[in-house]
Copies of this chain bind each other. A is one copy, B any other.
Amino acid sequence: MTVLEKMGQNAKAAARTLAVAGAEKDRALTQIAKALLEHQEEILEANRIDLQNGKEAGLTPSLLDRLALSPARLEGMAEGVRQIVALPDPVGKVLDGMVRPNGLRITKVRTPLGVIGIIYEARPNVTVDAAALCLKSGNAVILRGGKEAIHSNLCLAKVMRSALEAAGLPADSVQLVEDTTRRSSLELMGLTEYLDVLIPRGGAGLIRAVVENSHVPVIETGAGNCHVYVDAFADLDMAANIIYNAKTSRPSVCNAIETILIHEAVAEEALPKIRDRLQEKQVQLRGCERTRQILGSSVIPATEEDWATEYLDYILAVRVVKSLDEAVEHISRYSSGHSECIVTRDYKNAKEFTARIDSAAVYVNASTRFTDGGEFGLGAEIGISTQKLHARGPMGLNELTSVKFILEGDGQIR
């Protein structure tokens, strides 16, 4: 039995205890929030090793920033855990029920998924966030973080495991894979006997690798090639404002936009307005031929590849389209199914866009930056699902559960 198989077995055993745990889960989470602050020095010390190693390995400043912990960031993590305590327990919730003509009483209730694997990259805060969400929803979790954060992650896992034990729950509810080589990821993707689901959190490369290689069911998160379509009947100032916000308020996140489509009837008036707003942040434009006719040849010509790219940067692709139809065609072809927006004053076009666009979130006249569990009012999220099976859009506690049917009879036979 390999180390990971053993972890899988331990997780399964822990999951059976967690599945019937009630208030203990909240007690353990409260304990975890406390322990993160009590063990602050130890955690920051481990984090300093990761940061030192990261500098020596030549990590970029932005990666080092993601990796770095501080008293304020630890307090933020603890506060995140406390917020999860405050959410209602999803497990046991009755979703449906009926009494059949033969007297059989059927109740459909929420249950935990069981054992969840999370594969992620450099951010140690995912270690705590993900563990807390899994725990609250009654699931055991196996965490496999990036090598850059391994010392921080090991320390955080140790602190959480002690807190679990102190609260009377199995330490193996939360386990961290120590091996951060590619081998452990691949083995995790094949652990069908023990894992109920695998959730990759990170860049497009990581997610693609997991989707392509995993035999454990995967929930795909994150990649966002998002669009704003400026309709012939748009309020052009609103359009420029939404585009500016959706591109520049935080370009590195999945709900930022990457391409805008402008109806040809308003392109000449809209494009200069939009360009002027985006110039405040030096956004580079890559445009179709018509865009370059209007804005001039300083706009870089867009290639086929641009339409498909999630820049996550101050770059925006621009295309002039002949119709709403052409906009829908473009989005259907290139979108990753995350978030798209139409800016329009026309009722019919708004309805048609929301009906025909097949993405997790479809907006009329608002920035795509709202695609987020907190902004939707759904509480903390473990990611944004861009697949259609099981969960779509922000995934919170409910999306970390399954259901079962309980049937109560008095001797019914068929």
**A residues at B contact (CB < 8 Å):** 16, 19-20, 98, 100, 104, 106, 108, 111, 113-114, 192, 196-197, 211-212, 215, 217-219, 235, 238, 241-242, 244-246, 249, 332, 350, 354-356, 358-367, 369-371, 375-377, 387-390, 392-393, 402-414
Contact = CB atoms under 8 A, between A and B. Distances in A.
Q: How many of these chains are in the complex?
A: 2
A217 B358 CA distance: 18
A249 B390 contact: no
A211 B216 CA distance: 9
Contacts of A409: 363-366
A405 B360 contact: yes
Contact of A358 (B104, B108, B111): B111
Given A114-B358, A361-B404, A363-B409, A104 B370 contact: yes
A389 B196 contact: yes
A414 B369 contact: yes
29 contacts: A19-B355, A20-B355, A106-B377, A108-B393, A197-B388, A211-B215, A217-B217, A217-B218, A235-B411, A238-B410, A238-B411, A242-B411, A245-B413, A350-B408, A360-B405, A361-B404, A361-B406, A363-B407, A363-B409, A364-B406, A364-B407, A365-B409, A366-B408, A366-B411, A367-B413, A370-B412, A392-B404, A393-B403, A393-B405
Contact of A390 (B245, B246, B389): B389
> Could you tell me the dominant secondary structure of chain A's interface residues?
mixed
Nearest to A354: B406
A112 to B, nearest CB: 9
A64 to B, nearest CB: 27
B242 A413 contact: yes
A242 B360 CA distance: 46
